[in-house]
A and B are shown apart, each in its own frame.
Chain A
Amino acid sequence: MAKALSKPPEEQGDATETEFNLVGKPFRRVDGRAKVTGQTRFADDVHFPRTVYVKLVRSTVPHARIRDIDLSAALAMDGVLGTLVGAEMPDSFGIMPVSEDEHALAIDTVRFVGDSVAAVAAVTEDIAHAAALAVKVEYEPLPTIASVAEALATPEPQIHDYADEGNIHKKVSLKFGEVEAGFEEADLILEDNFFYEGSNHLALEQHSSVAVAEDDDRVTVYSSTQCPHYVHRALTKTLGIPSSRIRVIACSNGGAFGGKSDPFNHEAVVAKLALKLGRPVKITLTREEVFYCHRGRHPVQMNLKTGFRQDGTMASQHLRTTLDGGAFGSYGVASTFYTGALQTTTYKLPNYWFESARAFTNKPPCGPKRGHGTPQPRFAYEVQLDKAAHELGIDPAELRLRNLVEPNTITANWLRIGTIGLKECIDAVVKGSGWKARYGKLPEGRGLGIACSAYMTGAGLPIYWNHMPQSGVQIKLDRSGNVAVFCGETEIGQGSDSVLAVVVAEVLGIDIRDIRLCVGDTDLTPVDLGSYSSRVTLMVGQAAKQAAERARDKISNAVSEHMEVPAESLVFTGGRVFPAHDPDKGIAFNEAVIIAESRFGTLGTTGSYIPPRSPGRFRGAGVGPSPTYSYSAAVLEVEVDPKTGLYDVDKVWIAHDIGRALNPVLALGQIEGSVYMGLGEAMMEEQAFRRLPKHLSSSLVHKFPSMLEYKSPGFHDMPEMTCYMIETDDERGPYGAKEAGQGPLLPITPALANAIFDAVGVRVDQVPIHPDLVLKGLHAQATGHEARVGPAEFPDIDFGEPLIVHTPEQGGDGRAANDPKAKRKSLRSSSGTMKERDEALKEHSSATLTTD
């Protein structure tokens, strides 16, 4: 299957003209056999002799001071080996340096039903469970804050005292360009309120962690985490032992979708108990507990006001959002910025004002879920574009084409756009769906809807401020011909192991089975920040490519001396190394390694990756930049029953600008999986809460913390899908690749709302779009009212003075014109390579951290 290269890879020039060894060909994922034989080891599959099992005592009240924790009955039970309370681990942690507001176990205050109060360890899980129930906790209730509205109305008591004000965790106001003047120039101004309900990741694997103490102060934690590096940092804080003595091993995740990207309190609890008891300690959450860990999609209210010109182009936009954050910071500050940051990346928006507020509430914390903070405003934007198209008499697909962002430009909010294949995406779904002949012309009850989106290929900045690589790879080669690749990346099902292996195999021209991977181990592998923000293919891929190219160069040098041919003439392919002009003179790859090992001694190379520097310099500019953006367009076809509001999604056409598909069969899986998860949110999924009746305490509880009632789509809910992959060959990605795992989720919810409008003329401005909402709209339509269902208003919030940032078009410099706070000095590279980064460091160029 390998084909000869005409010249060595470094001379290949335009990648589209070259034959690759493996890139672009569908092949079985490297962990495929393990996944279908039951051999993949997930965290709960890790077993050690003498393991002790832990259960957490969880709060039964939404908001209270802890008066007393009585452990005596639990400790008296046979088989109970120990307990833990918050006071024993007083140091706080949290994923974002600006909101380290979590503890291993609650100290003084519980903040939601399900918050962790104490831990009990026993010889069996059954005993631990019984002992946890025997722990008596006395609470002194505090007022419950159940929603953004209640948070606004109830500044005291504060859920956290570090909030921007009262129970408003974070407020943002960023104004780019001449927003008011833009509206004056507009021929049509639309202002709409939208609501996007929260939802859970519902990864099929429940979180699990196992800790093994090796010494008085050395501990290894196996965990279901997307980000072993961040868990490592959190354990360093909470355990109070040096990070060099803590080892975190990320097991393969049984799905994650963002739900395993925070460091979790249970990880700290098992590590501490392992050190305390000297035995392996395990915790595996129940499904109910996963709903309490949450970190899922924020419920977001939106008010979107956009000014359109007669030709459909946009003059100005003002977006206001609120996020119901739950009880902890989590990624929430980033989520807050993300509800506005990517609004400029698809369509030209010369003037843009974004305001947002995230509230603390007494509910499980929200955080990042596939698309992190962007599906909500994307829903609002794409539905409003559909409305504008109808007002202006322009076809909705055509309206989008008229507004496309140009490649290699900088947006009004200072994001650098790379390649953009959105036009090709729109063309593909328009042609594929027969849009022009069918849109607006289908029989009553049947409709088509279109929507588009963009997403990051990796967050430009790390979560905590530093100048180190965001991804690192080490390669070890020896005379066996086997190539061992070490990288901190984490396989969560998305195929990151396969990306790592294919890039190395491509460069060295070897069979993928000659590669052994060691991943996600903070002791043994170089740091990779984790499987979040769609960063792995690009960042791990680039680091792997660099490490592999360095290995290839070393081998080339030795072989060229040996064969007396120029190093540049050597070709690596098909498990052989040979001069391009004389393939018969070649040698097997392992023989080439022997020559190199003889010449240079033990062989090893490294590669690292840092994203290019973003031009934005204002506070908040750190959320949104990415080496490059992926683009998607979707058309959905629905059939609505006008009598009941019940509907079926019959067909989805999705086109995704993936840059290049490194392994098409895996890339398609990411696209289809995104569409599926988007449909789940569009049609049914909701992490919702209710108050218990008065005689049962009126407590605020999860509406249905079980898989029985938390509805997600099954086999029978899936429409037919047609997937087009658009390859734009972006120079910032490895072999031109961009992300595929998140972006294609984004257009699905608005495309459904738009299709329902085409089918029956009802606007549903909120998700999930339950059939009863459609029916309500149909009823309004039949009785002569506006056929719209959705929020009537947006809360009255003072977002504070906006930061004024002049746009590139206005001749701005990327800084805020009116920032009262002193800028934080720092050093960023101007490019992805270490050399250029070093130069940038020498120049002492400065940038501003995003989230303070």
Chain B
Amino acid sequence: MPAEKRIKGDGSGIPDGMTGAVLKVNGDDYPVVFPTNHTLLEVLREECKLTGTKHGCELGECGACAVLVDGQPVLSCLQITTDVVGKSIETVEGLQHGNDLHPLQETFADLGAAQCGYCTPGILMVAEALLEKEADPDDEQITAALSGNICRCTGYNRIVEAVKWAAAKKRGDDWRPDEELFMGTEIPK
């Protein structure tokens, strides 16, 4: 029996103002009942207990809540949940392959592109969508793709480099960011 039927069906007992549905998140089925006006962000965090997706502004300005819906970046704080039932939702929790980190996760961790890590899930998901479209993005493409994300810790430049590094890793290219990003610039003589 499909999971939807187990929850909703006739005489399900779900009261007015509530919706029962099965969300497909990171390939897993999540049967959930939630207030119909709740956003995808709220349902992911509160019903699915997938707290990796963050909130920062409640109005689509900071990008911390970005997830992928059918491969496209979506601000989950502005996304009504009922509209994504049946679609494929991807969050930061689904990014790694088995126990191996995704190249973006590796490069963000190794290059200091994540400090407090609060904006990181949203940025990783938007960057992932970019890399799926563009195997070798330049600075301008990365900046444009991430222009809806705010990071208060890093000063951004490391994030751009980490995305380029991840793209290289994904391509099997051994390019890596300049050594000065790891050790500082050599003091001029």
Contact = CB atoms under 8 A, between A and B. Distances in A.
A493 B116 contact: yes
Interface in B34-56: 35, 45, 49-56
B11 interface: no
A661 B184 contact: yes
Nearest to B114: A35
Contacts of B101: 33, 36-37
A313 interface: no
Interface stretch (B1-9, B81-89, B151-159, B167-175): B151-159
B116 A725 contact: no
B51 to A, nearest CB: 4
B156 A715 contact: yes
A122 B106 CA distance: 41
A38 B92 contact: yes
A26 B35 CA distance: 47
A673 B56 contact: no
B157 A721 contact: yes
Nearest to B122: A204
A40 B35 CA distance: 27
Contacts of A252: 116-117
Contacts of B91: 38
Interface in B110-167: 110-112, 114-121, 124, 142-144, 146-147, 149-160
A26, A42, A675, A722 interface centre (most CB from chain B within 10 Å): A26
A32 interface: yes
B57 A428 contact: no
B109 A36 contact: yes
A201 B95 CA distance: 30
B147 A665 contact: no
| Interface residues of chain B: helix, strand, loop or mixed (majority) | loop
Interface in A653-686: 655, 661, 664-669, 672-673, 675-677
Contacts of A32: 109-110, 114
A286 B61 CA distance: 14
Contact of B155 (A33, A40, A203, A673): A673
A442 interface: no
Contacts of B57: 287, 706-708
A724 B183 CA distance: 9
A667 B182 CA distance: 9
B185 A29 contact: no
Contacts, number: 199
A95 to B, nearest CB: 22
Given A126-B35, A286-B58, A287-B57, A432 B188 contact: yes
B92 A673 contact: no
B95 A37 contact: yes
A47 interface: yes
Contacts of A427: 188
B115 A726 contact: no
B93 interface: yes
A664 B184 CA distance: 7
Contacts of B110: 28, 32, 665
A438 interface: no
A525 interface: no
Contacts of B158: 669, 672
Contacts of B35: 126
A360 interface: no
A673 B180 CA distance: 16
A265 interface: no
A715 B143 contact: yes
Contacts of A191: none
Nearest to A38: B52
B76 interface: no
A42 B117 CA distance: 10
A655 to B, nearest CB: 8
Interface in A204-218: 204-206
Given A664-B183, A707-B62, A715-B149, A42 B118 contact: yes
Given A32-B109, A495-B115, A26 B182 contact: yes
Contact of B154 (A37, A45, A672): A672
A202 interface: yes
Contact of A38 (B51, B144, B187): B51
B40 to A, nearest CB: 15
A723 interface: yes
A431 interface: yes
A712 interface: yes
Nearest to A668: B184
B52 A287 contact: no
A29 B64 CA distance: 21
A206 B155 CA distance: 20
A40 B112 CA distance: 16
Contacts of B49: 47
B52 A673 contact: no
Interface in B7-23: none
Contact of A287 (B58, B104, B152, B157): B58
Contacts of B55: 44, 206
A255 B154 CA distance: 11
A253 interface: yes
Interface string A46-77: 01000000000000000000000000000000
Contacts of A31: 117
B61 A40 contact: no
Nearest to A36: B105
A255 B152 contact: yes
A39 B114 CA distance: 13
B149 A665 contact: no
Query: Among the interface residues B105, B112, B147, B151, which one has the most CB atoms of the partner chain A within 10 A?
Result: B112
Given A252-B117, A665-B111, A715 B147 contact: yes
Nearest to A284: B55
A181 B142 CA distance: 59
Contacts of B96: 37
Interface of A: 26, 28-29, 31-42, 44-45, 47, 126, 201-206, 252-257, 286-287, 424, 427-428, 431-432, 492-495, 655, 661, 664-669, 672-673, 675-677, 706-708, 712-716, 718, 720-726
9 contacts: A38-B121, A206-B56, A254-B54, A428-B187, A493-B116, A495-B115, A714-B150, A715-B156, A716-B144
Closest 3 CB pairs of A and B: A38-B52, A493-B116, A254-B118
Given A255-B115, A665-B181, A672-B158, 6 more contacts: A204-B119, A669-B115, A677-B152, A707-B62, A713-B156, A718-B156
Interface of B: 35, 45, 49-59, 61-62, 64, 91-93, 95-96, 101, 104-106, 108-112, 114-121, 124, 142-144, 146-147, 149-160, 180-185, 187-189
